[in-house]
Chains A and B, each alone.
Chain A
C-alpha cells in the first residue's frame, strides 16, 4: 500500500498533446510515489504510450506540467528526462541493432578515457556486471544486438534503464514479446526494483499482468483519464469496464474521461 502522505516522485498535471487536430492526450493527471507500481491501462490508441513519451522527453506537451519530487521539471528532450532519473523501456526497445550490448546500454552516456576516446573496456566490464544480475546466461557481449533473442534484447533494454540509478522507471509493454519464463523474470525484477524504492509506471493492455504487480491503476480511454484506483478497491471486471466502457466504479476516483 502506498504511503499517501509523501510527496509524489513524479506528478503529471493536466497534460495535453494533439497531433494534427486529434487530441492524443487530453488533460490527464497521474502521479507516482517512491516504491510504487502504477499500472497504466487502456486500449491501443488510448494515449498511454503518448503520455509516457511526454514524461520520457520524446514529445513536448502542448499544455500541462510535470513535477519531480514536488518541484516543477522542464523536460524537453530525452536527455532532460534522464537527468531527472526518469528512464524508459520502450515497447520497441529502441535499441540500435548494429551495435553490441555495451554500446546500447551506454548510448548517449558513453564512458570516455582521459584521452576522450570511448572506454570500451570499462563499458564492457560494467555491462557484464549488470547483465550478470539480469540475465546470468548472457554471453554474447561482442555481437550486435540484432543477433540476440527477444528475451536477450529485452534484458539489454532493461539494463540500459536501470544501470544509471533510475528513480522512475517507465515500462511500456515490457512483456509483450516474451515467453512465460521471461515474463516471470520481468515480474521478479519489478518487485525487486520496487523494494529499492524506485517508482514504476507499468503500461500494458494485459489486465492480468498489471493486477499482479501494480499498487494502483490509472485507466485511459480516447486520450482522457477514466479514473484511478487502488487495486484492492476494484475488481478486474470493474477495471475492464473502465477500459472498455469508460465506466468508473465506486472504488475508483473518477477522471474527466469517466462517462
Chain B
C-alpha cells in the first residue's frame, strides 16, 4: 500500500496567485481588508485627515465592539440556515433588567457602589440573554417553528418586555465600575496594560503558528514554507503592535488627566501630562469573544456539527449528530452574546433605555453577511463577521464625521450591503 503522504503537491494554480497561495491567506479576507483600507483612506481624505487619527480610531473600535460581539454568534446561527431577528430586542430587555438591578435591586442588599455590583450585573446579563436564547432555540429546534418567525415574534416580545421593566422609564446612572464595560475613561486600560496585552498576544501568535507547524510536520503533512510562516507571524504581530501604538497615542482629555494625576499623587506640570487611553475594555472583550468563538467554531466538536448541519442537515442527522440540541445551543450562545453586548451598550450610554439595541439585528446580520457568511448556510467565519462589523461601523462613523444626514447614511449603508453581497456571489461563482 503506497500512502501518498509527504509527496502531496499543492494543486497547480495560476502562477500569479502563488505568493498568496503559499501564505494560505484567504482571498476573500484580503478583499475585505482592501475594502476597509479604501473606506478608511477615502474618509480620511474627505474629512481632511480627521478619520485616521488615534482619537477617531479609538472611538471607532469602541463603537464596533457591541455589534461585533453579536455578529460572532450570528455567524453560527446563519451557518445553520437560520436567522435571529431578535438580538436587538434581547439586548434591550437584558440591558433594562441589569440597569434596574444595579440601580435598585442590588444596592438594597449591597449598598451603592459595592464592588460586587458590576460582576453580578454581567453574570445576570449573560444568564438572562442565554436563557432567552435557549428558549427561542427550543421553540425552533424541538417544536419546529421556523427561526424567522420565532425571532420575529421575539423582536416584538422582548422589545415590549424591555418597556415593561420600568414602564418605559430610563434608568441611570450605572455603577461606576460597571461603566468600564462601555469604554470611555473608566474603561481605558492605560498604556502599560496595553503593551503587556500586545506582547502576550504576539507571543501567543508565534507559539500557535509554531505548534501547528510542528504538528503537521510530525504527521508528514505538507506545510507552508518557513518564510511564509515568518511573514504571517510578522504581519499578525505588526497589526497587534500597530493597534496598541494607536490606542496609546490617544491621550486622556486634560481635565480627566489632571484628576487622574492628582489621584495618583503626581504633580500637574505646566504643559499638562500625556496620559494615553490604551485599549478600551469593550474592545478587549470583543477580541476575546472573537477568539473564543473562533475556537468553538473550528476546534470544537460543536462547531464542526454546526457547519455540518448547515452543509447538509440530513447528512448531519444520519451521521448520528443530535441536530436539535446543537441548534438549541446555537441560539443559546447567540442570546448569551446579546447579554454581553447589553453590558457594553448600557455601560457606554451610562443608562438603560428601552430603545437600546433598536435595529441592531439588522447591523448584526449585515456584518455577518458582509463578512462572508452565506445565507444559504454552511459557510462563514467569525473573523470575517467581526471585520464586517468594523466595515459597517467605519462607514457610519465616517459619514457622521463628514456631517452626512442620517437618512443618507442609511441609504449608503443599505446600498453597500447589497453591493457587498453581490460582489461576494460573483466571487463565489468564479471560484467554483
Partner among B4, B295, B307, B317 whose Cβ is within 8 Å of the Cβ of A132? B4
Q: A103 on the interface (CB 8 Å rule)?
A: yes
Given the known interface contacts A118-B300, A129-B3, A132-B1, the answer about A94 and B307 at a Cβ–Cβ threshold of 8 Å is no
Does A50 lie at the interface of the complex (its beta carbon under 8 Å from any beta carbon of B)?
A: no
The residues of B that contact A109 with a CB separation of less than 8 Å are 319-320
**Is there a chain A Cβ closer than 8 Å to B308's Cβ?**
yes
B307 contacts A117, C-beta separation under 8 Å = no
* B318 CB contacts on chain A under 8 angstroms: 56, 58, 78, 88, 90, 94
Query: Does A250 sit at the interface, judged by CB under 8 A?
Result: no
Q: Say whether A112 faces chain B, with CB atoms less than 8 Å apart.
A: yes
Q: Tell me if A96 and B300 are in contact (CB < 8 A).
A: no
Find out whether the CB atom of B320 lies under 8 angstroms from the CB atom of A78.
Answer: yes
Q: Is the CB of B315 within 8 A of A124?
A: no
> Which chain B positions have C-beta within 8 A of A118?
298-301, 304
Q: Which residues of A contact B269 (CB under 8 A)?
A: none
Contacts A136-B4, A139-B8 known; A78 to B319 CB distance under 8 Å? yes
Cα A190 to Cα B91 in complex, Å, equals: 57
Which residues does chain A contribute within 8 Å of B3, judged by CB atoms? 128-129, 132
User: Chain A 75-114, CB within 8 Å of chain B: the 1/0 string?
Assistant: 0011100100000101011111111000100011110100
**Which residues of B from 5 to 33 have beta carbons under 8 Å from A?**
5, 8-9, 11
Q: Does A63 contact B (CB under 8 A)?
A: no
- Taking a contact as CB atoms under 8 Å apart, the answer to whether A121 and B301 are in contact is no
The answer to whether B4 and A116 have CB atoms under 8 Å apart is: no
Complex interface: chain B residues within 8 A of A23 (CB): none
Flag whether A195 is at the interface (Cβ < 8 A): no
Q: Is the CB of A121 within 8 A of B219?
A: yes
A176 at the interface (CB under 8 A from B): no
Q: Is residue A72 within 8 Å, beta carbon to beta carbon, of the partner chain?
A: no
- Pairs of residues from A and B, 9 with the lowest C-beta to C-beta distance, nearest first: A96-B311, A79-B320, A108-B319, A98-B311, A98-B378, A94-B315, A108-B320, A96-B308, A107-B319
5 pairs, CB–CB < 8 Å, chain A vs chain B: A79-B320, A107-B315, A110-B304, A128-B3, A132-B2
Binding site for A on B (CB under 8 A): 1-5, 8-9, 11, 215-216, 218-221, 295, 298-301, 304, 307-308, 310-312, 314-321, 378-379
**5 additional contacts (CB under 8 A) given A98-B311, A139-B8:** A97-B312, A110-B304, A117-B295, A125-B219, A139-B11
